[in-house]
Structure 1
Amino acid sequence: MIRKILHKPQALLGLAMMLIVFFVVAFAPFIAPHDPSELNVAHALSAPDSEYPLGTDEMGRCVFSRLLYGARSSMSIALPSLIILALVSTVVATVCAYLGGVLDRIFDVVSNIFMAFPPFLVAITLVGLFESKVFSIILSIVIAMWVWNARVVRTYVLREKQKPYVITCRMSGCSELRIIFRHIIPNVLPHLLVIFSTGLSSIIIMISGYAFLGLGLEAGTAEWGAMFVNAKQLIFSQPQLLVYPGLCILFTAGGFNLFGEALRDIYAPREG
Structure 2
Amino acid sequence: MNKSRWRNLKHELLDNKFGLAALAILFVFVVAAVLAFLAPHDPNQIIVQDRLKPPSGSHYFGTDDYGRDYFSRALYGGRISLAVGFLAMIIATGFGTAVGAISGYFGGKVDSLIMRVVDILMSVPPFLVMLILSVYLKPGIQNVIIIIGLLTWMNIARIVRAETLSVKEREYVLYAKVSGQSTFRMITMHVIPSVLSTIIVAATINIASAILMESSLSFLGLGIQQPNSSWGSMLNNAQGYISEAPYLALFPGLFILLTVLSFNVLGDIFRVAFEPKVNQR
- 1:20 is matched with 28
Aligned-residue CA RMSD in angstroms?
Answer: 1.7
Give aligned-pair identity as a percent: 35
1:248 maps to which of 245, 255, 260: 255
Counterpart of 1:225, as a letter, is: G
Gap regions ≥5 residues in structure 1: none
Q: Residue 216 of structure 1: SS of its match in structure 2?
A: coil
TM-score (norm 2): 0.91
- 1:163 is matched with 170
- 2:99 is matched with 92
Alignment of 1:236 onto 2:243: yes
d(CA) in 2 for partners of 1:234, 1:12: 35
d(CA) in 2 for partners of 1:220, 1:132: 13
2:68 maps to which of 61, 65, 87: 61
Alignment of 1:184 onto 2:188: no
d(CA) in 1 for partners of 2:133, 2:100: 23
d(CA) in 1 for partners of 2:106, 2:116: 16
Q: Residue 152 of structure 2: SS of its match in structure 1?
A: helix
- 1:262 is matched with 269
d(CA) in 2 for partners of 1:79, 1:223: 14
d(CA) in 2 for partners of 1:4, 1:245: 34
More moved, 5-14 vs 190-199: 5-14
Alignment of 1:118 onto 2:125: yes
- 2:43 is matched with 36
Cα distance, 1:129 vs structure 2: 2.8
Over 3 Å counting, the alpha-carbon distance change for 1:135 and 1:128 in structure 2 is farther
Over 3 Å counting, the alpha-carbon distance change for 1:16 and 1:2 in structure 2 is farther
More moved, 200-209 vs 163-172: 163-172
Cα distance, 1:132 vs structure 2: 5.2
Cα distance, 1:185 vs structure 2: 0.2
Gap regions ≥5 residues in structure 2: none
2:148 maps to which of 128, 141, 145: 141
Residues 123 and 143, structure 1, Cα contact 8 Å, conserved in 2: no
1:223 maps to which of 230, 235, 252: 230
- 2:8 is matched with 4
Aligned residue runs from structure 1 range 67-82, under 5 A? 67-82=74-89
Cα distance, 1:269 vs structure 2: 3.4
Q: Residue 128 of structure 1: SS of its match in structure 2?
A: helix
Cα distance, 1:2 vs structure 2: 3.8
Counterpart of 2:157, as a letter, is: A
The count of corresponding residues between Structure 1 and Structure 2 is 271
d(CA) in 2 for partners of 1:56, 1:235: 14
Residues 92 and 152, structure 2, Cα contact 8 Å, conserved in 1: yes
Instruction: Find runs of 4+ consecutive structure 1 residues off by over 4 angstroms.
Output: none
Residues 127 and 133, structure 1, Cα contact 8 Å, conserved in 2: no
Cα distance, 1:76 vs structure 2: 2.3
Deviations 1:61-120 (A, max 9, x none): 111111111111112222111111111110111012101233212202211210110111
d(CA) in 2 for partners of 1:258, 1:186: 24
d(CA) in 2 for partners of 1:109, 1:118: 16
Residues 13 and 259, structure 1, Cα contact 8 Å, conserved in 2: no
